[in-house]
Amino acid sequence: MHGGNAGIPPSFTWTQTLWSFVGVLVTHTILSRLNSFIMTETADTTKLSLVLAPLGALTTLQYNLTPAPASQPRNAIFAQVMALTVANLVSYIPLSAKNAWFRSALAPAIVIPAMAKLGITHPPAGAASIVFSSMKNQWANMGIFLCGVSITIINAVLINNMSDKRQYPTSWPYLSRAKAKVGICKDE
């Protein structure tokens, strides 16, 4: 057996590491406080929450692999919408309690190849499909989770672009088309 020769990502400088620390800390402080608020406000009724684990994976991409296609807003938004929709639909498949585990296998089996086919691969969306396929209050939690994704994107744009060594997003095709239409750039 043999693998490829792509190599491993280079180590960060201390300055880059500090930018990642600040970005992740600020973002997850906001997300954790929002989750605490949501859980407190819905404790007596629907018991909603912001699912934080896939957002931790998203911020790992946004602050440590900023130029990677999987970390770009386009992939994050479209892949998460698709993954959450599929997971929520899969959760309606009637299975006995004994066989409910199958939903957590079926959702990512649909989502992960579909992301590849559509060119929107985003690993946190694969994780979200597993989590959401076995939850209650899926549609309400989906909206809350997509707000969390939006918060991470906004923070990543603001914080990463404060450094002259970082740029985020590095790829947003609709932005360059819009700039070209209004005459801001001559890309097309």
Length of the chain: 188
C-alpha distances out from residue 152 to 59, 71, 77, 132, Å:
7, 11, 11, 19
Nearest-10 Cα torsion for 174, 34, 71, 112: -100
Under the banding of pLDDT at 50, 70 and 90, the label for residue 94 is: confident
**pTM (two decimals):** 0.85
pLDDT at 184: 59
Mean local confidence (pLDDT), 165-177: 77
pLDDT per residue as tens digits for the range 66-82: 999 999 999 999 999 99
Token match 């918060």: residue? 151
Q: For the segment 36-56, what is each residue's pLDDT rounded down to a tens digit?
A: 999 998 888 878 889 999 999
Cα–Cα distance between 125 and 79 in angstroms, integer? 6
Residue 176 to residues 12, 26, 87, 188: CA-CA distances in angstroms?
29, 28, 32, 8
User: Is the confidence at residue 188, as pLDDT, over 50?
Assistant: no
